[in-house]
Structure 1
């Protein structure tokens, strides 16, 4: 199973989904992990209460970039409330409080919790999206 999870992470890293900027985004938030230099900018376009599009740019380790790719796939099309629930669930997984089912791409990142210094890498894009949503007042 560990090999499969490694393959999932490397696939998202080598072939990131939804990489690129959005013109005139409703949400734009840049975060940097000063411990390792990873950085990510998350962009989203909202249509009413829905995340119509979400993209990211950045550079960093395979974990941070793969996690950002997985996040964009997970949050596109969700309502604000659903997105906030997914972010919360992911953060709980990264503290060992919750797990995603086997076969879910996000489950591939669960092993990161064995390396506490890498948790920030995995949560960087998720935190950027959450902060961006909190700063967007068009609810």
Structure 2
């Protein structure tokens, strides 16, 4: 597949998650809720996760922001559900490395989040993409 076709596909995946977010809403029986914002651009997220026996059973988010931040939140919640805490944190590290243009462990299926790899070319947008991931890390580490 040519670079232009791949770029177009990735843009479509991002816009699909932005227009049709997965796991958007409130989680009434969550283990914790984290509020974070990006003062640079105004993106904000409210992430609620339910963790039982060291496994992320459910995750939902509310918030507002650009297409990158909201699509990333949608992808992140989809990716971490059903994962143990260690794996969720590892995925967050992989995502952070990908956003910084670093080499990352590609043995793990990243699913839709791979569509965000182009964000690394736009340093001002990296904080948008990582906002929900930082909220997840904060919640799991507290």
Equivalent positions of 1:1-139 (< 5 A) are 1-98=6-103, 104-135=111-142
- Deviation of residue 107 (structure 1)? 1.5
- Cα distance in 2 for residues equivalent to 1:80 and 1:13: 26
Measured on the aligned residues, the alpha-carbon RMSD in Å equals: 1.6
In 1, the alpha carbon distance for the partners of 2:78 and 2:93 equals 16
**3-state DSSP class of the match of 1:63?**
helix
Bigger relative CO (Cα 8 Å, ≥ 6 apart): 1
Q: Secondary structure at the match of 2:56?
A: strand
- Looking at structure 2, the residues matched to 59 and 6 of structure 1 have their Cα atoms a distance apart, in angstroms, of 19
Equivalent residue pairs, number: 135
Aligned to 2:3: none
- Partner of 2:63, secondary structure, is strand
Stretches of structure 2 that go unaligned for 5 or more consecutive residues are: 1-5
Alpha-carbon deviation of 1:103? Answer: 8.5
Q: TM-score, with normalisation over the residues of structure 2?
A: 0.90
- Per the TM alignment, residue 27 of structure 1 is displaced from its structure 2 partner at its CA by 2.1
